[in-house]
Amino acid sequence: MAGTLDSALATKTESGRTLGEICAEKPVLLVFLRHFGCTFARQAIDDVAQATPRLQAMGVIPVFVHLGTPAIAKNYFDYYKLSTVERISDPDACLYQAPVFGMQRGTLWKIFEPAVWRGWLMGGLLKHGAGKLQSSPFHMPGVFLVRDGSIARRYVHRKISDRPDYAALAK
């Protein structure tokens, strides 16, 4: 992928630590979310919360990147019992657009295709509810394992309803 991680590693989390400082301690599972009004963003937070014991056993630290403000994010992470998880507020989507991650903006089809509606109706909606648009609906999610200063594994969503195996990505 084009670009380097250097500028991303200099990014500060909401706790004031840089991503590089965290990566120097342990591998990081960097989880990019869609907007918090998205059922699938909330589903991703819940999925990572469920995988956290396995991630910790593997020595991997989850770090979330989101498009909201720290105050809005806190409510969602508190709800899913991830109050102390490292987070990066990226309302201008600078990290989302960084060439090193290779994430593309979604299209209307990626948001409204039948597989997305099935995922929304068959699970996401019942467990995580519907929300209102809180930022651009076209930013796609993605997951990256950052180890030893480089991206060791990646999962760039093809659909907003994709559900990667977070623990498998962290191996």
**Helices 70-79 & 39-57 angle (0-180, nearest 10):** 70
Q: What is the CATH number of the domain that holds 99?
A: 3.40.30.10
Positions in the chain short of pLDDT 70 = 1-3, 106-137
| pLDDT of the residue at 131 | 54
Per the domain annotation, does 10 fall within a domain? yes
| pLDDT of the residue at 135 | 62
Beta strand 86-89 pairing with 150-156: unpaired
Provide the domain limits for residue 72. 6-169
pTM, two decimal places = 0.84
Instruction: Report pLDDT digits (tens) over 57-104.
Output: 999 999 999 999 999 999 999 999 999 999 999 999 999 999 999 887
Contacts 24+ apart (CB under 8 A), 9-17: 9/149, 11/88, 11/90, 11/95, 12/88, 13/63, 13/86, 13/87, 13/88, 14/70, 14/73, 14/86, 14/87, 14/88, 14/89, 15/86, 17/86
Per the domain annotation, does 27 fall within a domain? yes
Per the domain annotation, does 1 fall within a domain? no
* Dihedrals phi, psi of 12, to nearest 5 degrees: -90, 140
Question: What is the count of structural domains for the chain?
Answer: 1
Per the domain annotation, does 150 fall within a domain? yes
| pLDDT of the residue at 111 | 63
Per the domain annotation, does 71 fall within a domain? yes
Per the domain annotation, does 72 fall within a domain? yes
